[in-house]
Structure 1
């Protein structure tokens, strides 16, 4: 087949590095979902630029917020101790990836009410709680509410991080339907079917504060948040992750907002 060796070489140059990293990763006692990795420096820069464009906040301020979380040893130790105690994976190294964006946006928006649907172990919960604790120390208190259908989930939201709020156990749609406070920041990370995700947005539509911001953790797979944004006269952008030294191709953050 004419040109086959050359085409194969071109394709393998893109794919083999990830295969090699996957093989090395598989030999270790690592997490099997919600993979942990840093962003590439260029990708971190892109995330800062995107958040700056959306919020109007200076690059240096956002960079400072991200560095604040990256150097938070108390948070890192809290997460590491849980991972060790639970034997979730002896070789797990916590890194935040796109959650840097969650944290920075929470620090910028200073939400009074922040909801995250889908908690799992609670890494994202602690990241968001950490932002709320910082906000509170600066005179901007806020409350965290997680929704989670599994009663055993959310063990990481403990200690001082649990003082920011609580987890509402049960079906997410039912929990959101019963919620009666204005929502300033909403993070979707629960059932990853597009229709269920869309129903979450519909459920909170009338509960959103005027300047509320929505983050969709599944926007690299579904168009649910984009669709909801079109129908509710909101703007939508998407940030695509580029993991540093990891086989996983990355997920992303869908961001829905009103300018």
Structure 2
């Protein structure tokens, strides 16, 4: 009996699980070895301890373009142009690199400028042309700069807008304190739910990226709901961990869609973008 016939015969017996074990073990070992290599490289080369930055795989970037195309009802070709636009913004890259190098917290930040799913945020802002964006959770201000860059492009085309960036940490947003990006950003230091409650302008685009507990995320969406402009869009950076925005979309009669990113050459499995519109 040749090897193929033997394997097929074994597959029909009680010994099948035992016979398959070496192959299964080898498959798991190869996978774990790759993860360990990438993790070890990151431990040596990176300084980051949270809010990890990385590039997207080519396939993940392609899926992101289609995701934005669907939620914004825009041809995917136009979305790809927006993604290339932010990735090719050399002025912003130089600013982020130099501001990171000069920051007091530079010991916990990588020098490389990597946007990951944030290029999707950029494309959504370029497509939707919001007059007022509210972002909760600022940290260094990388996402704030990306959003501001989109607003500046929109303004140059006759569609001005502003970004309210909210964070409870008074040291947050050091990347977003330099012109021209700071010229369209209102940095608000305080509790996000309380700060949302006193907003005096309608909100066209809301992004949750602060405390990722279910309760806090839910309170933010509940707080911003009466502040929303007609046709506003809601985003969450927490979609891989909770179903809060999906539930909110169902209660309020909106559509919902989620995208999961795939980091390139990084141990972290990635985050995503949830959208309700």
TM-score range, shorter chain: over 0.9
Give the C-alpha shift of residue 29 in structure 1: 4.1
1:189 to 209, 213, 227: 209
Any idea what SS the aligned residue of 2:276 has? strand
Any idea what SS the aligned residue of 1:88 has? helix
Which position in structure 2 is the counterpart of 1:98? 117
Which position in structure 2 is the counterpart of 1:45? 62
Give the C-alpha shift of residue 5 in structure 1: 2.4
Which position in structure 2 is the counterpart of 1:207? 227
- Could you give the per-residue CA deviations for residues 70-99 of structure 1, whole angstroms, max 9, x where no partner exists? 010111111111111122357531111100
The count of aligned residue pairs is: 257
Paired with 1:177 and 1:57, the residues of 2 have a C-alpha distance of 32
CA contact (8 A) 2:136 2:166 kept: yes
Which position in structure 2 is the counterpart of 1:67? 84
Paired with 2:135 and 2:126, the residues of 1 have a C-alpha distance of 15
User: TM-score, normalised to structure 2's length?
Assistant: 0.89
Q: Structure 2: which 5+ runs fail to align?
A: 1-16
CA contact (8 A) 1:31 1:92 kept: no
Q: Kindly tell me: are residues 212 and 91 of structure 1, through their superposed partners in 2, closer, same or farther at Cα, counting changes over 3 Å?
A: closer
Paired with 1:14 and 1:241, the residues of 2 have a C-alpha distance of 19
CA contact (8 A) 1:83 1:89 kept: no
**Is the deviation greater in 183-192 or in 87-96?**
87-96
CA contact (8 A) 1:102 1:128 kept: yes
Give the C-alpha shift of residue 172 in structure 1: 0.4
Which position in structure 1 is the counterpart of 2:246? 226
Which position in structure 2 is the counterpart of 1:151? 170
- Could you give the per-residue CA deviations for residues 192-237 of structure 1, whole angstroms, max 9, x where no partner exists? 1011001100001111112111110011001111111111111111
- Could you give the per-residue CA deviations for residues 114-165 of structure 1, whole angstroms, max 9, x where no partner exists? 0100000100000000000000000000011011001111111122111002
User: TM-score, normalised to structure 1's length?
Assistant: 0.96
Confirm whether residue 84 of structure 1 aligns to residue 101 of structure 2.
yes
Paired with 1:102 and 1:129, the residues of 2 have a C-alpha distance of 11
Paired with 1:92 and 1:157, the residues of 2 have a C-alpha distance of 16
- Larger radius of gyration between Structure 1 and Structure 2: 2
Q: Kindly tell me: are residues 91 and 50 of structure 1, through their superposed partners in 2, closer, same or farther at Cα, counting changes over 3 Å?
A: closer
